[in-house]
A and B are shown apart, each in its own frame.
Chain A
Amino acid sequence: MDIFLRAYSYALGRGGELADALGRHMLLVAIALGVGLLVCVPLGMLTARSRLASFTIINAVNGLRVIPSIAILFLAIPYFGLSLTSAAIALTVLAMPPILINTDAAFRKIDPAVREAAFGMGMSAGQVLRQIEIPLALPVVLAGVRTASTEVIASATLAAFIGAGGLGIYITRGFALYDTAILLVGAIPVALLALAAELGVGAVQRVVQPPTH
């Protein structure tokens, strides 16, 4: 218990710094998820239309997945320096695969009969997309967002390694000073954020999921 109390008093003493770190952490997560969504949702909708495109892009992105985030972080440094940009790039690369793969799968698995019925009833392509395809794909896309957000929230701690801030500063600091209490000041909020994202997106996912039985 002692260690938690020490972490608590350390955090209290640095309320301003903690708030900044949290803000920076959230900013990194928002950039990575935002860019990931903007790129991968439209891309996934396109790849879902072609088996070949789907195969190529999904495998390429899965290839990216095997490169550790920290390696991407260091690869970005020569171009973007020890900066927020480098950290954001590494995190965006991390966020992309689950969003892309789920979007592709979500649109691919829409029953062709549903699409045929929609067109056959006289919906325009835009109406089919907005009223049928997007609502049907949404739960699966959100499952990808859920995976991406927990991964990104946890991995955003790496930003501190290149001086880009975020809650990771307490982890690097705690490691450097050999003080687990300081480490917890970073680790606990990160765990809580990840949990909140998991539960929050999960709740939205359940709301948009049509009954299956």
Chain B
Amino acid sequence: MAAIRFVNVSRTFPGAERPAVDNCSLEVADGTFVVLLGPSGCGKTTLLKMVNRLYEPTSGQIELDGVDIRSLPTTTLRRQIGYVIQQVGLFPHMTVAQNIAVVPQLVGWTRERIAARVDELLTLVELPPAEYCARYPAQLSGGQQQRVGLARALAAEPKLMLMDEPFGAIDAITRTALQDEMIRIQRKLRKTILFVTHDVEEALRLADKIVIMQRGRIVQYDTPFHILTRPANQFISTLVGADDMVRQLSLLPVTAAMAALPAGYRRNGEPTVGKDDDLRQALSLLLRSGAPALIVLDGEAAVGTLTLENIRSKTSA
């Protein structure tokens, strides 16, 4: 069963000429990271905010684990959903620990359980609890604030996370660090995540699947690699830079292109890549080192070899 199911969902704002969200249907599988991508005004944030009922659909239905979200009181629904917004929205009069404790308190956890959870989450987002528990939001950097925002959203163990351009207001270097964190955390927790962004690189890095929206409609829903290699129309092709081969390569692991090692192969000082690295990294290593081939390592063991020709065979354009 899909974790979230949108059935013919539309939303028209009063006085607007066209619907902000126009007859969207979408199924999000349990534990997947789905990014809603599109230019401003495409309806991605509206679609997101209908899941926790900050906006109500004009028509259509949204189901969470098969249950119509309108069958629950809004407060009950929202306490089961982690919510992270671009402006962070930490409560300035509460310490970091108190901010994280808000939803656990609302749902009635014991003091001990909350304290333990706060420590666990601060550790998860790499803010040492001893140092950060008692700080106030104004005493944190923007990146640290959003880490706390993420911890706060995860606090009551929601199955579903809604993230509305969470890294949009953060400088580029910190944003990359936070994306890495996000990937690491998601590998560990396997939440169902709906994540809104207009940053293509961010979408390609984070998503299991990407929903591309244009003028309120869903125009493509696919894996990042397929979006790049088989864009549904010219708009998407331009939006994601589908003709950018290097970008495509960054979405493929080296194992997708490597060739078997020749029989009786002995390591001879060739440059190496890890098997979890992507083809973009492999390509730049080939170019930089000038070596004819790379050796792919799984830990210490050589498992394959990679030449420029192997990489070229994987590019579709």
Q: Of B76, B78, B138, which is within 8 A of A211 by CB?
A: B138
Q: Which of B80, B83, B85, B138 contacts A212 (CB 8 A)?
A: B138
Closest partner residue, chain A, to B86 (CB atom): A113
With A210-B136, A211-B136, A211-B139 as given contacts, are A119 and B54 in contact (CB-CB < 8 Å)?
yes
* Min CB gap B102→A, angstroms: 6
Contacts of B60-107 to chain A: CB distance below 8 A: 74-81, 83, 85, 87-94, 102-103, 106
Interface footprint category on B: 20 to 34
- The residue from B78, B90, B139 contacting A120, defined by CB atoms under 8 A apart: B78
**Whose C-beta in chain B lies nearest to the C-beta of A114?**
B89
Question: How far, in whole Å, are A114 and B145 apart by their CA atoms in the complex?
Answer: 13
Type the 1/0 row for A112-154, where 1 means its CB is closer than 8 Å to any CB of B: 0111111111111001000010011000000000000000000
CA distance A121 to B139 in the complex (A): 23
- Per the bound structure, the CA–CA distance linking A122 and B162 in Å amounts to 13
Q: Are B138 and A121 in contact (CB under 8 A)?
A: no
How far apart are the CA atoms of A136 and B91 in the complex, in Å? 9
Grouping DSSP codes into helix (H, G, I), strand (E, B) and loop, the B interface class, with mixed when no group exceeds half, is mixed
**B52 interface hit (Cβ, 8 Å):** yes
A2 beta carbon closer than 8 Å to chain B: no
Name which residue of chain B comes closest to A121, CB basis: B103
- The docked-state distance in angstroms from the alpha carbon of A54 to that of B87 is 26
**Do A210 and B106 touch across chains, with their CB atoms under 8 A apart?**
no
The contact of B83 among A121, A136, A211, by CB within 8 Å, is A121
Residues of the B chain whose Cβ atoms lie less than 8 Å from the Cβ of A122: 74-81, 103, 106
**B91 & A123 in contact (Cβ 8 Å cutoff):** no
Per the bound structure, the CA–CA distance linking A121 and B83 in Å amounts to 6
Docked-complex contact A111 and B83, CB < 8 angstroms: no
CB distance from B280 to the nearest CB of A (A): 36
Is B93 a contact of A113 with CB atoms below 8 Å? Answer: no
Count, A-B residue pairs, CB within 8 A? 71
Check B138–A136 contact: CB distance below 8 A.
no
Number of interface residues of A (CB under 8 A): 21
Smallest CB–CB gap between B134 and chain A, Å? 11
Q: Tell yes or no: A213 within 8 A of B by CB.
A: yes
A122-B76, A122-B78, A122-B103 are contacts. A210–B85 as well, Cβ < 8 Å? no
Contacting residue for B91 out of A114, A119, A124, A211, CB 8 A:
A114
* Distance from A110 Cβ to chain B, minimum over Cβ atoms (Å): 10
Query: Do the beta carbons of A116 and B89 come within 8 Å of each other?
Result: yes
Q: Interface code A72-88, partner B: CB below 8 Å = 1, 0 otherwise?
A: 00000000000000000
A116 vs B94: C-alpha distance in the bound complex, in angstroms? Answer: 16
B51 to chain A, nearest CB (A): 10
The B12-62 residues at the A interface (CB cut-off 8 A) are 52, 54
Query: Do B90 and A136 touch across chains, with their CB atoms under 8 A apart?
Result: no
* Closest Cβ neighbor of B76 among chain A residues: A122
Contact between chains at A117 and B83 (CB < 8 Å):
yes
Q: A121 and B106: CB pair below 8 A?
A: yes
What residues of B have a CB within 8 angstroms of the CB of A132 in the complex?
Answer: 91
| Contact A123 B106, beta carbon cutoff 8 Å | yes
Contact (Cβ within 8 A) A120 B138: no
Complex Cα distance, B136 from A210, in Å, reads 8
**Distance of A129 Cα from B78 Cα, bound (Å):** 17
Instruction: List the interface of chain B (C-beta within 8 A of A).
Output: 52, 54, 74-81, 83, 85, 87-94, 102-103, 106, 136, 138-139, 152-153, 162
Supply 17 further A-B pairs (C-beta < 8 A) apart from A120-B54, A122-B75: A113-B87, A113-B89, A114-B91, A117-B91, A120-B85, A121-B103, A121-B153, A122-B77, A122-B78, A122-B106, A123-B75, A123-B102, A123-B106, A132-B91, A136-B93, A210-B138, A211-B139
Q: State the 10 A-B residue pairs at the shortest beta-carbon distance, nearest first.
A: A117-B89, A122-B78, A113-B87, A122-B79, A113-B89, A120-B83, A210-B93, A211-B136, A122-B75, A135-B93
17 CB < 8 A contacts A-B? A111-B89, A115-B89, A116-B85, A116-B89, A117-B83, A117-B88, A117-B89, A119-B78, A120-B83, A121-B83, A122-B76, A127-B106, A136-B91, A136-B92, A210-B92, A210-B136, A212-B138
Binding site for B on A (CB under 8 A): 111, 113-124, 127, 132, 135-136, 210-213
